[in-house]
Structure formats: C-alpha cells, structure tokens
Structure 1
Amino acid sequence: MIADINTDLIVLGIWGLIFAIFIIKLFQSIRLVPTKSAYIVERLGKYHTTLDAGFHALVPFIDKVAYVHDLKEETIDVPPQECFSSDEVNVEVDGVIYISVMDPVKASYGVTDYRYAAIQLAQTTTRSVIGTLDLDRTFEERDVISAKVVEVLDQAGATWGIRVHRYEIKNIAPPETVKNAMEMQVNAERERRALLAKSEGDKQSKINRSEGVKAEMINRSEGEMQKRINEAEGKAEEILTIAKATAESIERMAQVVSAPGGKNVVRMQLGAQYLKQFDGLTNSANKIVLPGNMMDFDHWMDSIGLEESKD
C-alpha cells in the first residue's frame, strides 16, 4: 500500500511539473515589445515573423524569440590599434562608430555579430587609409579617414541590415620619441614665427619713424619756404609802398616848387632842417667842424636852383 502511495505521489509530481512548465511557456508566449525595438520570432527553428512595438502572443512550444534588436542609434567603441603611416611611423588609433539597425532580419541572419563585424571593418579600413598618408597628414586628414570608413561600412551595412551614421577618430598617438620630436618642431616653429613677428614689428616701427621724420622735415621746409615767401612779399609790399609814398612826395614837392612862392617855402624848410642838424651836436663829445661862412648855405641853395624869389 505504501508503494502505491509513493507511485501516486510521483505521478502527481510529474503532472504538476508538466503543468508548471506549460504555465511558464504560456506566460513566455506573451510578449510586450518596447518602442524602437524589434523581436525576431522563429517557428520550429525557421524565421517566422518580426514583432514590432506592442502586444504579441506566440504559440507555446512552437514559436520562440530568437533575436532582440534595439533600433535606436548606438555608439560602439573601436579599440586602439597600431597603424603604420606611409613614412613608416607606428601610430595608435582608436575611434567610435555611430550605427543603428535598419533591417532586423538581415542584422540577425546576414552576419553573426554586426557590432563585432563593424569594429573589425572599421579597424582594417583605418589601417589602409593611414597607410597612404604621412604622419603629419594623419592629424590633418581625420575627416578623410572618417569619410572612408563610413563609406566602406555603408557598403557592408546594406548586407548586414545596419546603417553607419558616422565614424569619429578619438586619438592618434605616435610613439614617445616621435611625439617629443614633434613638440620640438612645434616649439621651433613658434619661436620662428615670434622672431619673424618681432622683426616685422621692428621694421615697421623704423619705417614709421623715418616717415615721421621725413614728414616733419617736409613740413619744416614748407613752413620755412612759406615764411620766406611771406617775408619777401612783405618787403616787396613795403618797398612798393615806400616807392609810392616817395613818388607822391616828389610829385607834391614838384607841385609846391612850381607854385608861386613855392621856392621860398622849400628854402625855409631846408634851412630849418639844416639848422636842426646842429641841435643834437652841441652836447656831443666829438669835435664839430663848421663852415667858415654860414651864408654858404644860400649859395648851395642857389646852386640847386632854389634861388630866392624875386617876388
């Protein structure tokens, strides 16, 4: 009787286990797919359908979700790798890829692991592109390297069901000896540019000073020239004015002399001036020699035609 009870318990346990497995599979057959995700469903080991975002019910024990893909754009780090430039310099390059799954079916069955495949292809393409460039150009041609990697990955991505949006190089690290040489070269170039800028500044400063001195000398010479011109014009104007005044005086003197009694007036004025000359000589310490006959003045007046009027 105890054996029968044990047998019944074993059978009941087996049926309970089967029921539990069925319940678990039933719950597993119900799938809620998030937004921007895709589930690949296989039926009896063969691709059946792709589940988009939403509620889905599968057939227990027959259908299963074989692959789950995130359709959002994702970043994949490309590990550092050694590359040789065209001038035989070893550099270490790493980067990052931005990709997204466009066709979940091809991403599942077109390649074993599209992430690993994209990384390997990016590394090999980077090595081949850097091998065509000199070391100096590898730092300048990052865009060229990135564009070439994106182009190659896009061609392969059509088969893998992915799209490569961009590829960015994070670091290009040359050996320490090359880095030190490049730093020395950069410092030398900076010093050369500093010396060149200083010499250009000194040259321009000397040019500016010489132009200033030149302008100052020109201004002074022009000022001196204008001064002399003004002085000459002033003297000419003065001479002209004196000449005009003298001419007018002579003309008036002639009119006075020709007038009745004019000669007597002239004689009187000349005599007054003649006598006035002796006024300042009386106090002089010098000796004064006077004519013996003061009446010779009348004879001098007669000699110049200013004889006394008969009137």
Structure 2
Amino acid sequence: MLTFTIIFLIFLFILFKLMLIVPMRDVFVIERLGKFRAVLQPGFHFLIPFLDRVAYRHDTREQVLDVPTQSCISRDNTQLEVDGLVYLKVMDGRLASYGIENYRRAAVNLAQTTMRSEIGKLTLSETFAERDKLNESIVREIDKASEPWGIKVLRYEIRNISPSMKVIHTLEKQMEAERSKRAEITLASAEKAAMINLSEGERQEAINLSEGEKQKRINEAKGTAQEISIIAKAKAEGMLMISQSLAKNGGNDAMNMLLKEQFIDQLGAVLDKSQVSVVPTELAKLEGFFEGMDQVSATLQGSKGGKA
C-alpha cells in the first residue's frame, strides 16, 4: 500500500511537470537544459519533465512605471524638479528575457536621462508651454533605445515640474509686472476710447447745432418772405379797393373826410408829445386848407366827368 501511494504521487508529480497552462495575460519563456526553447502563448502546453522549465514569465498588459523626481537644468540655467510616468508593453518575451537584465528598471533610468536631456534643450517657459511636445520627444527617444529589449514605450507623461523657491518668487514678480502692464494697457485703451467717444459726441453736437441754426434761418427767411408777400398782397388789395371806391359816387368826399380825420389825429398826437406849447401859424389857415382840398377834389372829379 505504501509503495502504491509513492508510485501514485510520483505519477502526479510527473503529470504536473508534463502539463502547463499559460494565463491569458502572460507569456512564458521555456528553457530546455538551460537553453532557450520557445515562448509559450496563453493556453495549454506539454513539457518534457526534468528537461523543460519555465525560465521567465512576462505580463503582456500595458504597464505603468513611476519615474522618480530628479533635478534638471533648463537651457536658461533654471533648476527644475521633474517627475513623470512611463507606459510600456512587452512585445517580445525572448528579448525582454535575454536582451536586458531588468527592462523595468532600465526603462525608468532611460526615461530619467532622456528627460534631463530634453529639458536641457528648452527654456523654463517652454517646458510649461510645450509639455506635449516634450512628452513626444521623450517617448521617441526611449522607444528608439528600448527596441532591442523587446518592449514598446507607448507614452510618457510629465507629472510635475517644480522650479526652486527662488525661481518661483521671480516668476511671481514677473507675473505681477505682466498683470500691471496689462492693466495699464487696458486703462489706456479705455481712456483712448472715451476720448474718441467724447470728441465724436462734441462733433455730432456741433453738427446738430449748425443744422439747427441753418434750419432756423431758413424758417425765419421763409417766414419773412411769407410775411412780406402777405403784406404786399394786402396792400395791393387795399389799393385796389380804394381805387374802386374812388370811382364810385361820393368816393372823393369819403376820401377827403378820411384824410382830414387822419391829419387831425396825427397833429393831436404831435402836440401831446411836444414839451413846447406852440400853435403853428398854419393852424389858423386850416379851414382854408380843407377848402382847397375840396376844390382840388372837385376839379379832379370834373376832369374825369369831361373825359367820360
């Protein structure tokens, strides 16, 4: 019974050594008698017991490696503390096993040296403004150098860029000066716009005043012309009515009476305003004057009747 148990255990051990299951996410590197035999892909495989062995196991998924913080010097001699992340994937299990001792550590060290080299080509402001280009340059250089290792560098991301405290203080002063400059430019632009608007308003006001004065004069001229026209028309109509009245019977007598009344009224007004009480000598001959006017009117009437 003990012998059977020992034989059964030996059989199970040989069977265990004979069969191999590779998980989906891995590849196994098999050596036979210490020499590379094959790279086994995910699935079920048979091995020769005591001759074949699994020498290396590699994860074929994308791996993320932390790049420690390191000191870098930019092109303008500014000291920076930079760290990042490198993303890579095993593409060839044989090269990843025999091409380099530890591809993870090698990739991290290569990322650090490449990052120092690339940052040394840029100024401080360019490292912040062109971070994407910097990442692409680092990936290109690392991928070129790591090709014999059987890995593929997918991307590199700079996580933090930290200047020294002295540089940060200088940058803060620079930003403050830049903000003050922009504020002064904004105020100057606003003042310029205000002056332009004010001058445009004054110009428009002057134009409006001149237009109003022009329209006022035109209206006054039109009003004066219309007034003169109305007065002239009224005088013409009055003269026409007077001439028509004189042509009628008794027209001359009415005219004489009207002239006498007007003369007396005007003479009374002159005597009221005069400060010297003087009676004109012609006043005594006033009756003779009116009689002379009657005779002149009669003569004019007679001449008109004779012509008729």
Q: TM-score, normalised on structure 2?
A: 0.79
Matched, 1:261 2:253: no
Offset, 1:296: 3.0
Matches within 5 A, 1:158-169: 158-169=147-158
Q: Secondary structure at the match of 1:96?
A: strand
Indicate conservation of the 8 Å contact 2:82/2:160, yes or no: yes
Matched, 1:77 2:66: yes
Indicate conservation of the 8 Å contact 2:256/2:294, yes or no: no
* Matches of 2:290 and 2:106, distance apart in 1: 142
Matches within 5 A, 1:115-134: 115-134=104-123
Matched, 1:309 2:297: no
Q: 1:174 to 1:28 in 2, by over 3 A?
A: farther
Offset, 1:142: 1.8
Offset, 1:34: 2.8
More helix by share: 2
- Which residue of 2 is the match for residue 55 of structure 1? 44
Q: 1:209 to 1:24 in 2, by over 3 A?
A: farther
* Matches of 2:24 and 2:189, distance apart in 1: 65
Matches within 5 A, 1:31-180: 31-180=20-169
Offset, 1:23: 3.3
- 1:156-176 per-residue CA deviation (whole Å, 9 max, x = no partner) reads 233222222211111121211
Offset, 1:28: 5.2
- 1:33-72 per-residue CA deviation (whole Å, 9 max, x = no partner) reads 3334322222222222222222333332222222222222
Instruction: Report the residue type matching 1:309 in the other structure.
Output: Q
Indicate the RMSD between aligned Cα atoms, in angstroms: 3.4
Q: 1:96 to 1:217 in 2, by over 3 A?
A: same
Indicate conservation of the 8 Å contact 1:263/1:309, yes or no: no
Number of aligned positions between the proteins: 293
Offset, 1:224: 2.3
* Matches of 1:19 and 1:181, distance apart in 2: 79
Structure 1 residue runs of 5 or longer lacking an equivalent are 1-8
- Which residue of 2 is the match for residue 236 of structure 1? 225
- Which residue of 2 is the match for residue 5 of structure 1? none
Instruction: Report the residue type matching 1:133 in the other structure.
Output: L
- 1:98-125 per-residue CA deviation (whole Å, 9 max, x = no partner) reads 2222222222222222222221222111
* Matches of 2:261 and 2:38, distance apart in 1: 146
**Identical residues among aligned pairs (%):** 43
Q: 1:265 to 1:45 in 2, by over 3 A?
A: farther
* Matches of 2:28 and 2:253, distance apart in 1: 146
Indicate conservation of the 8 Å contact 1:33/1:52, yes or no: yes
Indicate conservation of the 8 Å contact 1:263/1:306, yes or no: no
Offset, 1:261: 3.4
* Matches of 2:256 and 2:112, distance apart in 1: 131
* Matches of 2:290 and 2:86, distance apart in 1: 131
Offset, 1:186: 1.0
- Which residue of 2 is the match for residue 199 of structure 1? 188
Indicate conservation of the 8 Å contact 1:267/1:306, yes or no: no
Offset, 1:272: 8.0
Structure 2 residue runs of 5 or longer lacking an equivalent are none
